[in-house]
């Protein structure tokens, strides 16, 4: 439970920082944030199959780990949330998700 609360606290801090800091470079296969439209899905590798993964607000987006280890994020409603979890290496995963309205 403490680890989960720590992950949530880190996620909130990361979300606050992501809106105020310029993006930095990251490995090509690992996105810094996830952008998806309502009713659409996107899949991506995030450095190996994560051990655990969830979103802070499942009313905004849902997330699942696919058999090949990629993560599938589906936009449910317009807004922002954060993917949180434990990576394949045991490290914390914290990634902002932005769900945009359909065009």
Please tell me the predicted confidence (pLDDT) of residue 7. Answer: 61
- The answer to whether 98 touches 35, Cβ cutoff 8 Å, is yes
Q: Which parts of the chain register pLDDT below 70?
A: 1-31
Please tell me the predicted confidence (pLDDT) of residue 24. Answer: 40
Q: Which of 43, 45, 73, 41 is nearest to 58 (CA)?
A: 73
pTM, rounded to two decimals:
0.68
Distance between CA atoms of residues 53 and 51, nearest Å: 7
| Rg, C-alpha atoms of the chain | 13
């Amino acid at each position: 439970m403490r680890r989960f609360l720590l992950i949530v606290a880190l996620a909130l801090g990361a979300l606050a920082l992501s809106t105020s800091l310029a993006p930095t470079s990251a490995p090509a296969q690992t996105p810094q944030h996830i952008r998806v439209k309502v009713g659409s899905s996107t899949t991506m590798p995030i450095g190996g199959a994560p051990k655990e993964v969830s979103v802070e607000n499942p009313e905004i987006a849902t997330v699942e780990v696919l058999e090949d280890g990629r993560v599938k994020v589906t936009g449910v409603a317009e807004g922002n949330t954060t993917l949180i979890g434990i990576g394949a290496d045991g490290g914390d995963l914290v990634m902002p998700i932005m769900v945009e309205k359909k065009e």
